[in-house]
Structure 1
Amino acid sequence: MAKKVWTGIRLVVMTLFSFLFFVVLLLFLQLNGDEESSGLELFGYTSFTVLSNSMEPTFSAGDVIIIEQVENAEVGDVVTYMTPERRLFTHRIVNESIEQGSKSYITKGDNNSIEDRLPIVSEQIVGVHRFTIPKVGLVAETIQKNIDMRYVVFIPLMLFFILTIVEMIQKKRNKPKEEQLYEKESP
């Protein structure tokens, strides 16, 4: 009975540890210092931390947005785009036009009173907003500012190795007992 309880506790601890480790790793990767800071890219989706309030009430500074890489954007879509100066912005497409066979878009932040100064073209669009994780970026920023990141990675890895070693030692201790029981039951 005690063995089953210990196995259950180990499973819960390792699951919790793994989840927290990957959440901290995601938060660590999230901030880079642009207008919008990109994080993890996975299966055509990318996360960005919003650093301004230009899109309130849709999302706010400190939120993490998930965008999807798409071929076509439409009026009404919230897109993340890169300017010629290599800065990222996330604004809503409010108008589109076709001039000389090339499509361009006019964007505007939901919280801004005027449209963005320059139109953008499809090639500048990084992706279309799909969903928001509120305030996760603030947690990432707090961790990054207040904790030495070597410890954020080093301590969980050391805990993982210690737990693995303890588990290996326990298996070696229990193995002779299991072999003895098997030998006693065998004719």
Structure 2
Amino acid sequence: MKRTLSFVIKSFIGLLCLGVAFLFIQNQQQSEQTPNLFGYSALTILSNSMQPEFSEGDVIVIKQSQADELVANDIITFGTKEGHRVTHRITDSTEQDGNFFFTTKGDNNNVADAEPVFEGQVIGKVLFSIPMLGLVSRFVSEPIGFMVLIVLPLVAYVGITVYERLARPTKKEEAFK
């Protein structure tokens, strides 16, 4: 029982550290390339333009998609000329000479986006969101958050491991029992 509990605690701490490290790295990546794993990306919502669907601090998971798979009412993430990522809903799509163009609008905005989105700008289609998880990412990027969510669990893990090794009876001690 004690070993099982120890294994569960160690596994939880290890997974927590890996998850937080992934969020930290993802949050720090500010390049034009969107980091992805097997075509899936996790991004943090930075504004309230898509409320009530998403709020600032939510994390969205997107899947790389082809333009011909997208239809009106899909929510997509696309890159702008300025290098920003925007997540808005498709209100209309047009095909001209084999190229797709999308009209997009934030659910909380009064008007559609001024510039059409060309198929090459589309990063992916939103699959689902995790409310408020982005706040954890933001917290981890601060020094106190990094200490609390990365360093302390690692120290606890090492401490538990050392304690268990020191608490184990040696072969000599077992022979005297």
Checking the alignment, whether the CA contact within 8 Å between 1:50 and 1:62 is kept in structure 2 is yes
Q: 2:23 aligns with which of 19, 27, 37?
A: 27
Aligned to 2:154: 157
Distance 2:140 2:129 in 1: 20
SS at match of 2:57: coil
Distance 2:165 2:146 in 1: 29
Report the alpha carbon displacement of residue 166 of structure 1 after superposing the two structures with TM: 3.5
> What's the TM-score once normalised by structure 2's chain length?
0.81
Which structure 2 residues correspond to residues 15-94 of structure 1 after superposition, within 5 A?
Answer: 15-32=11-28, 41-71=36-66, 72-94=69-91
Sort the Cα spacing of 1:64 and 1:148 in 2 relative to 1 into closer, same or farther, 3 A. Answer: closer
Identity level (%): 33
Sort the Cα spacing of 1:168 and 1:160 in 2 relative to 1 into closer, same or farther, 3 A. Answer: same
SS at match of 1:126: strand
Distance 1:44 1:52 in 2: 24
> What's the TM-score once normalised by structure 1's chain length?
0.77
Q: 1:147 aligns with which of 140, 144, 149?
A: 144
Aligned to 2:8: 12
User: Structure 2, unaligned stretches of length 5 or more?
Assistant: none
Aligned to 2:106: 109
Which protein shows a greater Rg? Answer: 1
Q: 2:135 aligns with which of 122, 134, 138?
A: 138
SS at match of 1:60: coil
Letter matched to residue 49 of structure 1: T
Report Cα offsets for 1:103-160 as digits up to 9, x if no partner.
Answer: 1111111111111111111111111000010011123223433616367434433333
Aligned to 1:185: none
